[in-house]
Structure 1
Amino acid sequence: MSPRTGTAPLSLADVVWRRAGEQPDGLALVELRDTGDDLTVSWHELVDLADRTATVLTGLGVGPGQTVVAALPNSADLVTVSLALLRIGAVVCPVLPSLREHELGHVLRRSGAHVLVVPESFRGRGHPGEVIAMAEAGLAPGLRHLLIAPGHSPAPSATVPATHRLAACVAAARPAGASARPAGASPHDVAHLLFTSGTTGEPKGVPHRMDTLNRAALLTADRLGLTSRDRVHIAAPMAHHSGFLYGMWLSLLLGSAQIVQPTWNAERALRAFREWGGTFMQGSTPFLLDLVDAVEAGATAPAALRTFVITGASVPRALLARARARLGVRVCAAWGSTETCMATLSAPEDEAESVAVTDGRPLEGVRLRVTDDSGAELGAGCEGHLEMTGPLVFDGYLGRDDQTAEAFTPDGWYRTGDLAVLEPSGYLRITGRAKDVINRGGEKIPVGTVEQLLAAHPSVRESALVAMPDPRLGERACLFVALYPGKSLRLSDVQEFLDGHRVTKHYWPERVEVVGALPRNPAGKVQKFLLRDRLRREFTPHPKGAQFSAD
C-alpha cells in the first residue's frame, strides 16, 4: 500500500499488525519524558500492548461500534488504547485531559460511552476523583468503568464507575487468540469520534469513517512527500485532528516512527529533534513561533526537521521568513476543520509568497465554492461563504439531525462557516469567520488582513482583532496584542504603522489592549469569543456614542 494511491483498502489495524510481522524490532513510537529516559516501543511491542488492551476492553463489555472516551495527554497509552479499539471494531473518542466535569459529562452522555480512560493525574489534577464525583452527581449516567493510566492509582472499586488500573490489567491480560478476536473495524465503519471546540455553541460530535481518515492522511502524505522513512513529531493535542490524524494515524499508516510529546515545551522539543530526528510536524502558530524564538535565543536548530504544516490561522509573513532562516524548514499552509479533515494544503516547493497569503490548494477530490448571502456561487477573487464537498467531509453530527441539516446546503455542500476567496490560481484564502466579522457602521473590516500586517510589527509577538460594542456604529475594532520582551505599543503606534502600509482609516483599530498572551484552545486557535466577552462586560454607552476616535 503506497501513499501515492490516495486510498487504503485495509483497516488501520490490519496495516499495523502486518507491519509488526514484517519489522518486529523497528522503532514505532517514542514517548518523551521530562526526566530524559524516553520510552521507546517497537512495532512488535506496540501490537502486543494493543492486543492485551483489547482483551481488557472486551472484558469490560466493549464491542464493535461502541465508543470509548480517552481523556489522555499525548502518550503511548493513548496510541495503544486507540489501536486496541480499532482492533475490536469499536470507536475511539479522544478528548483533552483538561476538560472538566461539565464538558466531559457532555461528551460521555452524547457519545453513550460506558468506559472512560483518564490519567491518574495530569498537571496537578486528580482525574479519578473528579470523575467519580461527576458520576455521583449524575453527570455521566451511562459510565460503568474507569480505566486509570499510568502508574499507581486507587485500588479497584466496585462503585459506579468501577475503577481499574490500566497498566496492571494490561500486564495480566493475554492477547485473544485469532479465533476469539473480533473481526475489527471495516474501512467503511465509523472508527473515530471528535467533538468540536464549542466556541460557537454546544460541542458537537463529529464521527469519521476509517476510510475517510485513511484517505485524508494519505492525500496529505502525497502532497508533502512523506514516507515510512520520516519521523513524525507530535506535540499538537491528539484530541484534535492535528495530533491524532496528522500525527498518530499518519505515522501508523505510513509505517514511520512517531515521537509523542505529552506537554509542549519548545526547548524539550528541540532536544527531541536532535535525539530522535523528527522530520515532520504539524501544529498551530504558537508551536512554530516558540521554536523560532528558542533558536533565536541560542538553542540549536533542528537539523532533521524538513516540513512544518501550520494550521488554525494564516501564516504571518514575518514568522514564515524567520522560520526558514532560523530553522531551515519549509512551512506549508493548510485549512481544514473537525468536520472536513485537512482540505487544502500547500506543498513544500510552493513559493514563500503563496504560502504566506493563501491557505493552500485543494487536495485530490476536494471541491470548494464561495457563495454570497443568498447562496449564489461567486467567481474567483470574490469574498463569500466557503462551502465544501468531497471524500473528506463527515456525514453528519452525532445524534443531531437538526444541526446536520443546518450545516449542509440543499445540494449537499458543507457550510464551513468561514469567509474566503478562491484565487484564480486555485489557491484558497481564508479571510475570516462568518461570525468573526467586524461591521463598523456597515463597513466590514478585513480582520485577517490587518492581523497579517501587524504580525510584521517589530513589537508584536501575536495579535487578535475583535469587535467591541459601539452605540453609534454598532461595532468598532479592538486590538489585543502580546508584545516581545521590553517592547511597548500605543494606539498611535499601531495606526501609524497601518497608515504606512496604506491601510484605509476605517480598518484601523480604535483601541489597543496589551496582554501577556492571547487565550487559545489546546489546538492553538485563538478564542476570540473570550476577548469579545471581556469587551462586552466592560462596555458602558457613551452619552454621545463614539468612545474612540478614528473618524
Structure 2
Amino acid sequence: MKFDTSLIDARKETMIKNGFWKNRTIEHFFKQALETQPDKTAIVAYTVDGSKHEPVRLSYRQLNERIDSIAKSLIRLGIQRSDVVSFQIPNSWEFIAISLACARIGAVANPLMPIFRDRELSYMLKFLQSKIFIVPSVYKNFNYEAMAERLLPTIDSLQHIVVLGGEGENSVDKRLLADTSAAPLVADPVKPNDILLLLFTSGTTGEPKAVMHTSNTLLAALDGFMDSLELKDSEIILGASPMAHLTGYGYLAMLPIVLNSTTVVMDSWAPNIALQIIKDEAVTFSMASSPFVQDMCNATEKGAPRSPQFTKFCCAGAPIPPIVIERAHKIMNLTVCSAWGMTENGAITITEPTMALEKSSISDGKAIPGIELKIVDGNDNELPQGETGRLLVRGASQCVGYYKKPELNALTDDDWFDSGDLAFMDQDGYIRINGRSKDIVIRGAENIPVVEIENLLYQHPAIASVAIVGFPDERLGERACAFVTLKEGARFSFEEMIQYLTEKKVAKQYFPEKLEIRSDLPRTPSGKLQKFMLREEAKSFQLD
C-alpha cells in the first residue's frame, strides 16, 4: 500500500529538532527489555469470557519467540512491507504479539473493534485492501469465524482468514505459531516515520475514518503521558479497556513495552473478577473510561477485594462526574487522573497525580509535553481564559492524516487541528471539555450549557447516566431533551427533573423540555457517548 507522507515530511524537521520525534520504534524498546531483563514477565493474559481464569504468563524471552514465529508466518503467507494486517480479536497476548510482529516485518497493524459486523467490516477491509483477517472463533457468543468466511469471497484483496481458538488448518496455532525453526527472521522492520498503525475513528460523529499513526507520533504521545504520570518500569498495568481502540492499543498494549514493564490482560470486563486480578497480580495502574471506575467502586462497596498497590488510574473518553473521583479515592484509595484525547492524537491533556483531587473533577487536564492548545471563536480568534470556544491542538502526537481522505485532515496552514470539541481553559492551563461543536443546543439564541446541566442531573440519586441533545422547534430553533438511564430500582419523572433543577437554582431557560428514559445510552466500546445517534433520534421529537 502507498500512503500520503506529505504531513510527515512537512513536520519532520521541526519535530526532530525540538526533540519530540526521537526516531525510535516499538522494536527498539522490546529489544531493550530482551537484552536487559529477558526473564521478566511481559504479559499475564486472563480469559474471562468463557470463564477460563488460569492465565497465560509470558516472559519477554517467551514473548519474543512467539513474535518471531508470527512474523515468519506472516511473511510466508505473503505479507510484505506496508501491507495491512487486520485483526478483530479481544485483549490477549496474541493481540500484543501480532501487533509487535507487524512492526518487526514492516507491516501495518489494523486492530478492529469486536463490535463490528459484516457491514462495517466489508467496508473497512475493502477500504484498507487488507490481505489477512484474524478473528476469534467465538467471542461473547458470536461466531466470528463464520462471519469472516462469509466476507472472504466478497473482498478481492483478502487472501487469508486466521482463527484464534480455531480447530482447523486456519487456526492461529497452525497458521501463525507453527514456525519454530531456528532460521533467522529476514525482515525489514518498520521505520520511525513509516505508517505503523491504522485505526478507524470510534464513531462519535457517524463517519469512520482510518487514522494513520507512525512510531514517532505514537511514541510522542506515550512519552508525554509517562512523564506526566511518573510511570516506571516497575508498573504492573491492567489492560481491560479494548486494545483495538487507541486507549487500549497505545496505553495498555504498547506503553508497558516502552516501559519494559508488565501488562495484565483481560479479554472481557467483569468488575469483580478485575478487582481479584488486581489484587492477585499487584496491579499498580490502569486506564479506561469512567464507567470502569464506577463499576469497581460499586463492586468494592459490595465486598470485592481491595488492593493497596492499585493507586493510580487514568480516566479518559468522557468527562468524569465529580462524585466518581470522590468515591474512588474514598472507597479504593485510588487516585483518578482525568485526561482528554482522540484517536487522531492520543491523550494530549492530563491531570498529574499530585493535582488529581483538586483538578480531575473540574478539568480534563493540561497539555502534555510536546502539545500546544488554544481556544478560538468562530472566526479563529483566540479567546481569553474562562471563555468557551473551539479547541485547537498542535503537536508531536498528531496523526499524519486519514488514509485516502486527505481532504478531512482538518489542519490549518500552521498545523492546528480542529478537535471538534468545545472547551475553556483556566488560569493554570487546565482545560474543560464543554461538549462537541455539534452538540451546542441554541434555544432562542441562548446557548444552553449542556455539560453543566448534564453534571447537575448526574448528581441526582436516581440517575446513572445522562446526555442532553437538541431537537428542532419552529419558534425557538431548538429545545433540549435529556436522555437518562436510571440506577437499579430507581424512578424518575419529568416533574422530578424540573423540581430538582429548580432547587439547584438553574436558570429556567436551561431546563430540558423533554425527558427520555432509556435502559442504556449508545456508546462506543471505549465508553464514549455517541450523541449523534441521540440527535438523529431527537429530530422527530415534538413537545408533548
Determine if the alignment matches structure 1 residue 323 to structure 2 residue 304.
no
Determine if the alignment matches structure 1 residue 110 to structure 2 residue 116.
no
Question: 1 CA distance for matches of 2:206 and 2:247?
Answer: 22
Q: 1:198 to 1:458 in 2, by over 3 A?
A: closer
Partner of 2:163 in structure 1? Answer: 148
Choose which of 396, 411, 428 in structure 2 pairs with 1:408: 411
Q: 1:343 to 1:131 in 2, by over 3 A?
A: same
> Retained in 2: the 8 A contact 1:101–1:130?
yes
Choose which of 31, 34, 53 in structure 2 pairs with 1:36: 53
Q: 1:342 to 1:171 in 2, by over 3 A?
A: closer
Question: 2 CA distance for matches of 1:271 and 1:411?
Answer: 49
Q: Which range moves more in the overlay, 465-474 or 500-509?
A: 465-474
Q: CA deviation at 1:445?
A: 1.0
Partner of 1:80 in structure 2? Answer: 97
Q: 1:351 to 1:85 in 2, by over 3 A?
A: closer
CA deviations over 1:448-493 (Å, ceiling 9, x no partner): 1111122222222211112223232222111121222232212222
Q: CA deviation at 1:176?
A: 6.7
> Retained in 2: the 8 A contact 1:346–1:361?
yes
CA deviations over 1:217-266 (Å, ceiling 9, x no partner): 12111111111101110111111111110111101110111011111111
Determine if the alignment matches structure 1 residue 20 to structure 2 residue 34.
yes
Amino acid at match of 1:461: A
Q: Which structure has the higher relative contact order (CA within 8 Å, separation 6+)? A: 2
Determine if the alignment matches structure 1 residue 506 to structure 2 residue 512.
no
Amino acid at match of 2:415: G
**Equivalences for residues 431-510 of structure 1 within 5 A:** 431-510=434-513
> Retained in 1: the 8 A contact 2:313–2:336?
yes
Q: CA deviation at 1:339?
A: 0.6
Choose which of 124, 134, 152 in structure 1 pairs with 2:141: 124
Q: 1:184 to 1:251 in 2, by over 3 A?
A: same
Determine if the alignment matches structure 1 residue 94 to structure 2 residue 111.
yes
Amino acid at match of 2:416: W
For the residue of structure 2 that corresponds to 1:356, the secondary structure is coil
Determine if the alignment matches structure 1 residue 287 to structure 2 residue 304.
no
For the residue of structure 2 that corresponds to 1:36, the secondary structure is strand
For the residue of structure 2 that corresponds to 1:378, the secondary structure is coil
**Divergent runs of 4+, >6 A:** none
Q: CA deviation at 1:387?
A: 0.8
For the residue of structure 2 that corresponds to 1:105, the secondary structure is helix
CA deviations over 1:361-388 (Å, ceiling 9, x no partner): 0011211111111222222222111111
Q: 1:272 to 1:6 in 2, by over 3 A?
A: farther
Determine if the alignment matches structure 1 residue 365 to structure 2 residue 370.
yes
Q: CA deviation at 1:497?
A: 2.2
**Equivalences for residues 363-442 of structure 1 within 5 A:** 363-404=368-409, 407-442=410-445
Amino acid at match of 2:179: A
Q: Percent identity?
A: 33
TM-score normalised over the length of structure 2 = 0.93
Choose which of 196, 199, 210 in structure 1 pairs with 2:204: 199
Partner of 1:11 in structure 2? Answer: 25
Q: CA deviation at 1:134?
A: 2.1
> Retained in 2: the 8 A contact 1:468–1:475?
yes
TM-score normalised over the length of structure 1 = 0.91
Question: 1 CA distance for matches of 2:413 and 2:32?
Answer: 43
Question: 2 CA distance for matches of 1:299 and 1:512?
Answer: 35
Amino acid at match of 2:259: L
CA deviations over 1:124-177 (Å, ceiling 9, x no partner): 2221221221233x3x22111111112x33x34xxxxxxx22112334203574
Choose which of 170, 173, 187 in structure 2 pairs with 1:167: 173
CA deviations over 1:10-30 (Å, ceiling 9, x no partner): 321132133123322211101
Q: Which range moves more in the overlay, 79-88 or 455-464?
A: 455-464
> Retained in 2: the 8 A contact 1:55–1:176?
no
Question: 1 CA distance for matches of 2:464 and 2:534?
Answer: 17
Which stretches in structure 2 are left out of the alignment for 5+ residues? 1-18
**Equivalences for residues 262-301 of structure 1 within 5 A:** 262-301=267-306
Which stretches in structure 1 are left out of the alignment for 5+ residues? 157-163, 541-546
Question: 2 CA distance for matches of 1:169 and 1:114?
Answer: 14
